[in-house]
Amino acid sequence: MKTFDVGALRQAMAKLRLDGPNDLVQRTLAQHGLSVPGEGTGFQPPFGPSGAQSAADPVPPGASITTDRFSCKAGSREYLAYLPASAGKGIRGMIVMLHGCTQTPADFARGTGMNALAEEHRLLILYPHQSRGENAQSCWNWFSIGDQRRGRGEPEILAQMTLDLAGRHKVPRDRIFVAGLSAGAAMAVILGQTHPDVFAAVGAHSGLPFGAARDVPSAFAAMNGNDPGQTAPRRDARPTPTIVFHGSADRTVHPLNGERIAAATLAAGPDQTVLERKTGRIGSRGYSREITALVDGRILLEHWIVNGLGHAWSGGKPGGSYTDPQGPDASAEMVRFFLDRPAR
């Protein structure tokens, strides 16, 4: 029988200031004889942000937005795809954007401003949609063992969806990337480990490391900054190039998780050297950035810590949920990091 620290779980839930219903969490806690803190006043699951659902930015002439459903043996999901008007000059790459909890693809597109960058850089953007039928709060199930492996569950659905769309638009196979926020970032990290042959690099904003949780109780623990002992370097870990963004004031996903994503990336790689350490300020947000390169000069890791940033997309746009317009533009920095990858 699995055991966990009930006191630590209660404290984690209380510190996260949760609100909004979640049947999965409530059922799991009930099985362990726990009550839901603040029940009757609202309870939100600890798997990511909630906020407004808004339409994506207007589509410029020549660009297109497609909504569809993809199905494969592992399952099916709906998605939104943005093809820029500039695609007529040739697609340079593709970014899969995984939203956080309670967000929608359109909401995430507006908040990150990624469609405008797609026009500038000739990128195809894929926004998979996690429905409430698969998770009560539309969270990617990063904390489920069945969704942390190749060949099954959400990683396989997302990888096959990506390959299908990339094939139809003739995207170069070494220019496919994945990024996400919160639960979406945790799933992006999983994809970087389960499908390194598909995704050339990962962008993780306010996310968690691979294997940080195996169920709901350990998800609470991981998000609160506790290490359930499952994030030690794995012998089969992949050194997938990764750019990490995390706010120093994030009270939903503890900043230690960003550090653990960075540490796991470095532990999986060969010998490295720190290329650059930099601090600066944009608007009211100070930041630190550390770049780690391999001995041949290829960048393996870029780790940003944004001072005073909470659980929100750094440099995000108005109209989208969980965005902060102050500080570095995480979308622009991720696109730069992705497109700087050398061809395989």
Q: Is the pLDDT of residue 11 over 90?
A: no
pLDDT score recorded for residue 343: 77
Closest residue by Cα to residue 204 from 217, 188, 220, 226: 188
Report the alpha-carbon distance of residue 156 to residue 168 in Å, rounded. 18
Q: Is the pLDDT of residue 27 over 90?
A: no
pLDDT score recorded for residue 333: 98
Report the alpha-carbon distance of residue 213 to residue 211 in Å, rounded. 5
pLDDT score recorded for residue 24: 41
Backbone angles phi, psi at 332, to 5 degrees: -65, -40
Segment 149-168 shows an average pLDDT of 97
pLDDT score recorded for residue 307: 97
Rg (CA), the chain: 19
Which residues on adjacent β-strands are paired with residue 68? 79
Closest residue by Cα to residue 10 from 221, 212, 311: 221
Q: Which two structure tokens, joined as six digits, stand for 276?
A: 């650059």
Q: Is the pLDDT of residue 46 over 80?
A: no
Do the strands 299-306 and 176-181 form a parallel or antiparallel pair, or are they unpaired?
Answer: unpaired
Query: What is the full DSSP assignment across 272-319?
Result: EEEEEEEEEEETTEEEEEEEEEETTS-EEEEEEEETT--SSEETPPTT
Do the strands 285-294 and 123-129 form a parallel or antiparallel pair, or are they unpaired?
Answer: unpaired
Segment 202-226 shows an average pLDDT of 94
Segment 202-215 shows an average pLDDT of 95
pLDDT score recorded for residue 104: 95
Max Cα–Cα distance, the chain, nearest Å: 60
CA distance between the termini of the chain = 46
CATH of 6-46+64-339, one of 3.30.310.10, 3.30.1330.10, 3.50.50.60, 3.40.50.1820: 3.40.50.1820
Q: Is the pLDDT of residue 317 over 90?
A: yes
Give the H/E segment covering residue 194. Answer: helix 183-194
Report the alpha-carbon distance of residue 266 to residue 253 in Å, rounded. 21
Closest residue by Cα to residue 228 from 208, 255, 203: 208
114 and 331 in contact (C-beta within 8 Å)?
yes
Residue partners of 198: CB distance under 8 A and separation at least 6: 159, 162, 163, 176, 191
Between 149-158, 218-227, 232-241, 307-316, the lowest mean confidence (pLDDT) is in 232-241
Q: What is the pLDDT of residues 159-200, one digit of tens each?
A: 999 999 999 999 999 999 999 999 999 999 999 999 999 999
pLDDT score recorded for residue 256: 96
Per-domain residue ranges for the chain? Answer: 6-46+64-339
127 and 80 in contact (C-beta within 8 Å)?
yes
Residue partners of 321: CB distance under 8 A and separation at least 6: 49, 50, 51, 52, 53, 54, 102, 103, 107, 111
Report the alpha-carbon distance of residue 146 to residue 144 in Å, rounded. 5
Between 50-54, 134-138, 260-264, the lowest mean confidence (pLDDT) is in 50-54
Q: What is the pLDDT of residues 55-77, one digit of tens each?
A: 456 788 899 999 999 999 999 99
Q: What is the pLDDT of residues 219-251, one digit of tens each?
A: 989 999 987 555 555 666 778 999 999 999 999
User: Considering the entire predicted model, what is its pTM?
Assistant: 0.83
302 and 243 in contact (C-beta within 8 Å)?
yes
pLDDT score recorded for residue 3: 33
pLDDT score recorded for residue 60: 84
Strand, helix or coil for residue 64: strand
pLDDT score recorded for residue 227: 74
Between 29-33, 180-184, 282-286, the lowest mean confidence (pLDDT) is in 29-33
